[in-house]
């Protein structure tokens, strides 16, 4: 009995220490992006409408040239918890796009977009999309949830409590802002661009954002850093359009459950008092 | 299932029904008047929580099935359509995905409770084995459900797990082709997984009925491991156990709601938000957390066939637990040496889980082998020997003595 | 069972009632998304948005079928003869009395726009057939006139009108 205790403690300590070991020999090393402040982070987070509108402008003018947004429709621009377009404004945006359709005789035509249409893709198919840079630019509908980075133990345990779910936008903003000259000795493959945060550091996309490239309608700074943040926020909305409602309803549900748990607890105590 | 002699409905309609289908009496004797040990602690509430979670998964699952399309070209989009367009679709999807995780969390707590208090011992061997069967059914159901999303991780997890069967000598490849319905994971695979994913939860429900039946034949175990000796030792299930189950169920729902509403993608893998691409393997293929320990065991064995045997053996060995543990004393409360090894086992299980997320190289492989050895040694060496050599603490005379005796 | 004071009784009852009530409210609230999810989703509602139809290509006497919210809509460019027949009818003796003027838009009586679903059991009636120069439903023999009103057969009501409006003399918006 007595000898078990120190052995037990040793094994326990060893296990915990092992968990703190940094991940060695990962297939592709990834530099963790800096944690940014997002309006939609935390239990009371909400999208910033102005930011989403700026982000949409960047998507339209820059990203949409190569990246599709298959699962977003023009009507989503007018949805609650989104960029806050009115239905008329969303309709106007839709009408500026050309959407493929068939006429009454079955011939392919192009017509003005309607609210119900999805955002049209810039390329006809995957092969055409691959042609420019050798890799097809990924669709952006779920991109902000499809990108993440590992935080390791014990940080991911803290994240459960702090509700850190913004790995995607943090990575995307860092990536967009992370193009730099390759360090000495780094071998950059043909057609590749050095990016600080892309796993393996070689990315096929050329740096997409430069200062002053997109004219903002509000007074926000037109720097590449601001563009990166706004684009990342817009992509997060595109991936998770019901975030506002989710967190709002979540708060109501939590309050309800806590009240119910309290009532159940006292009921249990009262019921069992007959036995004790 | 004793006679319903204690049940006398006052309502004439209920009396009429009782004569023809004594369901009232059954409910009364099984869940109202049913004698329950008075000293059950909160670890005993997880059976009820599991039943609740099964209900949640079935209801949310049936509803999701109203909107999901099981075709390789449309599956991913249909899930996104649920998330975006279906009224409260985002809620139903997150409830179902996180519900699976909560279901497994509850089952692990339930199983470790059984392990600690010796609930698998005579006369509850069949109860325990039915539980192992339920656990296997849950694992199959969860695996197939994850594939239905048809993201990158869905596709590649399906490829890896179905490929395991190719390790079987001779017929292995034929079995894999048969599972796939093609030359690789594809549309036939997705369709049959959908059919089976819808079916298995109802098989689980049926086995749960057997599980509860077996439980009611022997009665619950309790923290002392001593059977009830008199009416003093038990209380009626309702309201005593009911309210306790209900209270912890609500607390469990608080944890559930925390995941669903605030960190719904925490337990998932971001790669599953990328549509499946058979031409590109993700940089790491990782199962959901509840499979990680077994994944680590599989990868720790350098031989393919032996690794598969170790994987299935690590679950199958649970069925033999009632006979591997030779101790006459049930509860770990009175088994100080067993308790130490039990907690080491818990650490090994968690450790294996963590190792399942790491690449199988260097120190991680060494650690995984050590912990895998301990995992099997616990069942095959420690438990049989402990029964012979362990000096157990003296048992109390009865349940009520253990509860009231100290206060008397 | 120990005796319990009546004050404790009512306190205990209040707790039980409160817990039960809060639980019931939660259960009811939980039902809302389970039931609401079966209502048409956002993409279905968007697909059911109003449609604009150009009437110019529809010749005199021609009947065109379009779909709105997955329902067939008959657009009939009525001839002078068809309009006269519809207006001359003794409204009071119709199975479902309705004057022709209430079934067309003012100033546009050459245009009849009706939902092409038989009000009996839902089949699609065939145009330019039957004794009344209107529609004939092959399923159970209902016959409609040039204003889409039921004249003979088991159908109880006239062909219903969809919500529509003229946005110009040659264009209507349905929905």
Question: Over 90: is that where the pLDDT of A23 sits?
Answer: no
Best to test chain B binding among A2, A46, A71 (most B CBs inside 10 Å): A71
pLDDT reported for residue B377: 97
Q: How confident is the model at residue A14 (pLDDT cuts 50, 70, 90)?
A: very low
Tell me how far apart the alpha carbons of residues A96 and A87 are, in angstroms, rounded to a whole number. Answer: 14
Residues on chain B touching C43 (C-beta within 8 angstroms):
81, 85
Record the tokens describing residue C34, joined without a space. 């389970």
Tens of pLDDT, residue by residue over B304-325, are: 999 999 999 999 999 999 999 9
Tens of pLDDT, residue by residue over B325-378, are: 999 999 999 999 999 999 999 999 999 999 999 998 899 999 999 999 999 999
C28 in A contact zone (CB under 8 Å)? no
Share of chain C above pLDDT 90, in %: 90
Size of interface B-C (CB pairs under 8 A): 32
Spell out the long-range contacts of C135-140 with Cβ–Cβ below 8 A and sequence spacing 24 or more: C135/C74, C135/C159
Q: What is the mean pLDDT of residues B245-261?
A: 98
What global pTM score does this model have? Answer: 0.92
**Average predicted confidence (pLDDT) for chain B:** 95
Closest CA to A71 of C33, B92, B267, B273: B273
Which chains would you list as touching B if contact means 3+ CB atom pairs under 8 Å?
Answer: A, C
Return phi, psi of residue B234, to 5°.
-125, 160
Tens of pLDDT, residue by residue over A130-164, are: 888 888 999 999 999 999 998 887 888 899 999 99
Tens of pLDDT, residue by residue over A222-275, are: 999 999 999 999 999 999 999 999 999 999 999 999 999 999 999 999 999 988
Q: In what order do the strands lie in the sheet with C111-115?
A: C63-68, C71-77, C111-115
pLDDT reported for residue B39: 94
pLDDT reported for residue A4: 53
pLDDT reported for residue A171: 97
Per the CB < 8 A criterion, the answer to whether A235 and A169 are in contact is yes
pLDDT reported for residue B7: 80
**Average predicted confidence (pLDDT) for chain C:** 92
Tell me how far apart the alpha carbons of residues A93 and A76 are, in angstroms, rounded to a whole number. Answer: 11
**Average predicted confidence (pLDDT) for chain A:** 89
Tens of pLDDT, residue by residue over B10-20, are: 889 999 999 99
Q: How confident is the model at residue A8 (pLDDT cuts 50, 70, 90)?
A: low
Question: Over 50: is that where the pLDDT of A24 sits?
Answer: no
Q: Do C2 and A274 touch (CB under 8 A)?
A: yes
Q: Do B274 and A142 touch (CB under 8 A)?
A: yes
Chain A residue with minimum CA distance to B253: A257
Chain C residue with minimum CA distance to B89: C37
User: Distance (Å) from the C-alpha of residue B217 to the closest C-alpha of chain C?
Assistant: 29
Check whether the bond before B239 is cis (ω within 30° of 0).
yes
Tell me how far apart the alpha carbons of residues B119 and B37 are, in angstroms, rounded to a whole number. Answer: 13
| Coil, strand or helix at C33 | helix
Q: Which residue in the list C9, C108, C128, C140 is annotated as catalytic?
A: C140
Tell me how far apart the alpha carbons of residues C105 and C61 are, in angstroms, rounded to a whole number. Answer: 18
Residues on chain A touching B266 (C-beta within 8 angstroms):
159-160, 165
Please indicate whether residue C77 is annotated as part of the active site.
no
Size of interface A-B (CB pairs under 8 A): 124
Task: Please give the angle made by the CA atoms of C112, C117 and C118, to the nearest 5 degrees.
Answer: 105
Q: How far is the CA of A47 from the CAs of A32, A88, A252, B343, in angstroms?
A: 24, 21, 19, 45
User: Distance (Å) from the C-alpha of residue B76 to the closest C-alpha of chain A?
Assistant: 11
Q: How far is the CA of A42 from the CAs of A159, A235, B296, B315, in angstroms?
A: 11, 18, 34, 39
Best to test chain B binding among A13, A25, A153 (most B CBs inside 10 Å): A25
Q: Do B347 and A24 touch (CB under 8 A)?
A: no
pLDDT reported for residue B110: 98
Q: How far is the CA of B317 from the CAs of B130, B297, B320, B321, in angstroms?
A: 14, 14, 5, 7
- The position carrying tokens 């200062």 is A211
Residues on chain B touching A268 (C-beta within 8 angstroms):
243-244, 246-247
Count CB-CB contacts under 10 A for residue A163: 17
A127 in C contact zone (CB under 8 Å)? no
Share of chain B above pLDDT 90, in %: 93
Best to test chain A binding among C9, C15, C32, C55 (most A CBs inside 10 Å): C15
Query: Which fold, B286-390?
Result: Helix Hairpins (1.10.287)
H helices, E strands: number in chain B: 17, 2
Tell me how far apart the alpha carbons of residues C175 and C171 are, in angstroms, rounded to a whole number. Answer: 13
Residues on chain B touching C39 (C-beta within 8 angstroms):
87
Q: Do B84 and A19 touch (CB under 8 A)?
A: no
Q: How confident is the model at residue B1 (pLDDT cuts 50, 70, 90)?
A: very low
Tens of pLDDT, residue by residue over C35-53, are: 999 999 999 999 999 999 9
Tell me how far apart the alpha carbons of residues A98 and B190 are, in angstroms, rounded to a whole number. Answer: 35
C26 in A contact zone (CB under 8 Å)? yes
User: Distance (Å) from the C-alpha of residue C29 to the closest C-alpha of chain A?
Assistant: 10
| Coil, strand or helix at C53 | strand
Q: Domain segments of chain B: what residues?
A: 37-280, 286-390
For the domain covering A30-72+118-268, report its CATH number: 1.10.760.10
Tell me how far apart the alpha carbons of residues C46 and A114 are, in angstroms, rounded to a whole number. Answer: 10
Question: Over 60: is that where the pLDDT of B193 sits?
Answer: yes
pLDDT reported for residue A124: 87
Q: Select from C19, C42, C43 the Cβ nearest to the Cβ of A264.
A: C19
Tell me how far apart the alpha carbons of residues A173 and A233 are, in angstroms, rounded to a whole number. Answer: 9
Residues on chain B touching C30 (C-beta within 8 angstroms):
none
Tell me how far apart the alpha carbons of residues C14 and A250 are, in angstroms, rounded to a whole number. Answer: 28
pLDDT reported for residue A20: 39
User: Distance (Å) from the C-alpha of residue B88 to the closest C-alpha of chain C?
Assistant: 6
Record the tokens describing residue C44, joined without a space. 């279905």
Q: Do B63 and C34 touch (CB under 8 A)?
A: yes
CATH of B37-280 among 1.10.1740.110, 2.30.42.10, 3.40.50.970, 1.20.810.10? 1.20.810.10
Q: Domain segments of chain A: what residues?
A: 30-72+118-268
User: Distance (Å) from the C-alpha of residue B86 to the closest C-alpha of chain C?
Assistant: 5
Contact map slice: C 62-101 vs B, CB within 8 A: none
Tens of pLDDT, residue by residue over C128-139, are: 999 999 999 999
- The position carrying tokens 């960029």 is A83
Closest CA to B333 of B204, B236, B238, B225: B225
pLDDT reported for residue A159: 92
pLDDT reported for residue B347: 97
Residues on chain A touching C46 (C-beta within 8 angstroms):
73, 75, 115-116
Q: How confident is the model at residue A104 (pLDDT cuts 50, 70, 90)?
A: confident
DSSP B95-115: HHHHHHHHHHHHHHHHHHHHH
Q: Do C22 and A75 touch (CB under 8 A)?
A: no
Q: Do B270 and A71 touch (CB under 8 A)?
A: no
Question: Over 90: is that where the pLDDT of B213 sits?
Answer: yes
User: Distance (Å) from the C-alpha of residue A30 to the closest C-alpha of chain B?
Assistant: 12
Tens of pLDDT, residue by residue over C59-112, are: 999 999 999 999 999 999 999 999 999 999 999 999 999 999 999 999 999 999
Closest CA to B96 of B47, B139, B143, B145: B145
Tell me how far apart the alpha carbons of residues A253 and A262 are, in angstroms, rounded to a whole number. Answer: 14
Q: Select from B244, B262, B367 the Cβ nearest to the Cβ of A18.
A: B367
Q: How confident is the model at residue A25 (pLDDT cuts 50, 70, 90)?
A: very low
Question: Over 80: is that where the pLDDT of A12 sits?
Answer: no
Tens of pLDDT, residue by residue over A109-120, are: 999 999 999 999
Q: How confident is the model at residue A22 (pLDDT cuts 50, 70, 90)?
A: very low
Closest CA to A162 of A42, A34, A39: A42
Tens of pLDDT, residue by residue over B20-44, are: 999 999 999 999 999 999 999 999 9
Q: Select from A115, A259, A270 the Cβ nearest to the Cβ of C46.
A: A115
Which chains would you list as touching A if contact means 3+ CB atom pairs under 8 Å?
Answer: B, C
pLDDT reported for residue C3: 60
Q: Do B247 and A267 touch (CB under 8 A)?
A: yes
């Amino acid at each position: 009995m007595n000898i078990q205790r120190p052995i037990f403690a040793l094994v326990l300590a060893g296990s915990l220490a092992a968990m703190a070991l940094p991940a060695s020999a990962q297939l592709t090393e990834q530099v963790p992006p800096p944690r940014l402040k997002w309006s939609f982070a935390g239990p009371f987070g909400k999208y910033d409408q102005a930011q989403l509108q700026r982000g949409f402008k960047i998507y339209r003018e820059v990203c949409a040239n190569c990246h599709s947004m298959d699962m977003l429709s023009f009507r989503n621009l007018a949805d609650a918890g989104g960029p806050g377009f009115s239905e008329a404004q969303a309709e106007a945006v839709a009408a500026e796009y050309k959407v493929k359709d068939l006429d009454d005789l079955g011939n392919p035509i192009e017509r003005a977009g309607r609210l119900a249409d999805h955002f049209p893709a810039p390329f006809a198919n995957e092969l055409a999309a691959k042609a420019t840079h050798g890799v097809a630019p990924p669709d952006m509908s779920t991109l902000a949830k499809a990108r993440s980075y590992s935080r390791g133990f014990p940080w991911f345990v803290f994240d459960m409590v702090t509700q850190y779910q913004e790995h995607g936008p943090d990575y995307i903003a860092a990536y967009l802002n992370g193009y730099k000259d390759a360090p000495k000795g780094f071998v950059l493959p043909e057609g590749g661009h050095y990016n600080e945060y892309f796993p393996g550091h070689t990315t096929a996309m050329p740096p997409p954002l430069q200062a002053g490239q997109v004219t903002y309608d509000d007074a926000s700074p037109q720097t590449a850093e601001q563009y990166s943040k706004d684009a990342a926020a817009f992509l997060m909305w595109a991936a998770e359009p019901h975030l506002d409602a989710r967190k709002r309803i979540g708060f109501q549900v939590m309050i309800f459950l806590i009240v119910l748990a309290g009532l159940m607890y006292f009921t249990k105590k009262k019921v069992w008092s007959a036995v004790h | 299932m004793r006679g319903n002699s204690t049940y006398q409905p006052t309502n004439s309609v209920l009396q009429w029904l009782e004569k023809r289908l004594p369901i009232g009496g059954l409910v009364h004797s099984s869940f109202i008047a049913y004698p329950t040990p008075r000293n059950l602690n909160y670890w005993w509430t997880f059976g009820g929580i599991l039943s609740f979670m099964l209900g949640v998964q079935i209801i949310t699952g049936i509803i999701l099935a109203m909107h999901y399309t099981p075709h390789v070209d449309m599956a991913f989009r249909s899930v996104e359509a649920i998330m975006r367009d279906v009224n409260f679709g985002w809620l139903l999807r997150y409830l179902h995905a996180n519900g699976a995780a909560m279901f497994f969390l509850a089952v692990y707590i339930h199983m470790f409770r059984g392990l600690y208090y010796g609930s698998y011992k005579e006369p509850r061997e069949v109860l325990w084995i039915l539980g192992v069967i339920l656990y296997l059914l849950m694992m199959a159901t969860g695996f197939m459900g994850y594939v239905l999303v048809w993201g990158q991780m869905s596709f590649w997890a399906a490829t890896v797990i179905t490929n395991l069967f190719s390790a079987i000598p001779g017929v292995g490849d034929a079995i894999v082709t048969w599972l796939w319905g093609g030359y690789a994971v594809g549309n036939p695979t997705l369709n049959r997984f959908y059919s089976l994913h819808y079916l298995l939860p109802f098989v689980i429900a049926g086995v749960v009925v057997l599980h509860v039946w077996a439980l009611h034949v022997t009665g619950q175990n309790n923290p002392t491991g001593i059977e009830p000796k008199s009416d003093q030792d038990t209380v009626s299930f309702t309201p005593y156990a009911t309210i306790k189950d209900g209270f912890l169920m609500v607390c469990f729902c608080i944890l559930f709601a925390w995941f669903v509403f605030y960190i719904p993608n925490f337990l998932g893998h971001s790669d599953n938000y990328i549509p499946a691409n058979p031409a590109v393997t993700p940089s790491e293929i990782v199962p959901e957390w509840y499979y990680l320990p077994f994944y680590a065991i599989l990868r720790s064995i350098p031989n393919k066939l032996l690794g598969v045997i170790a994987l299935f053996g690590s679950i199958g060995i649970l069925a033999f637990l009632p006979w591997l543990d030779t101790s006459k004393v049930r509860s770990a409360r009175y088994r100080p040496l067993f308790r130490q090894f039990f907690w080491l086992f818990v650490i090994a299980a968690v450790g294996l889980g963590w190792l399942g997320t790491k690449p199988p190289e260097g120190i991680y492989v060494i650690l995984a082998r050590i912990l895998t050895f301990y995992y099997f040694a616990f069942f095959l060496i420690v438990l049989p020997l402990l029964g012979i050599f362990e000096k157990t603490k003296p048992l109390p005379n009865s349940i009520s003595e253990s509860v009231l005796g100290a206060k008397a | 069972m120990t005796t319990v004071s009546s004050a404790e009784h009512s306190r205990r009852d209040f707790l039980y009632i409160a817990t039960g009530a809060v639980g019931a409210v939660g259960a009811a609230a939980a039902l809302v998304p389970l039931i609401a999810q079966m209502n048409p989703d956002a993409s279905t509602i968007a697909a059911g948005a109003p449609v604009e139809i150009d009437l110019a290509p529809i010749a005199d006497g021609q009947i065109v079928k379009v779909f709105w919210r997955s329902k067939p809509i008959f657009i009939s460019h009525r001839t002078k003869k068809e309009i006269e027949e519809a207006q001359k009818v003794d409204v009071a003796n119709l199975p479902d009395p309705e004057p022709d003027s209430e079934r067309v838009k003012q100033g546009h009586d050459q245009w009849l726009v009706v939902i092409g679903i038989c009000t009996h059991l839902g089949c699609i009636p065939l145009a330019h057939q039957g004794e009344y120069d209107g529609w004939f439903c092959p399923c159970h023999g209902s016959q409609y006139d040039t204003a889409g009103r039921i004249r003979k057969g088991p159908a109880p009501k006239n062909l219903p009108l969809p919500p529509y409006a003229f946005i110009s003399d040659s264009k209507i918006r349905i929905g």
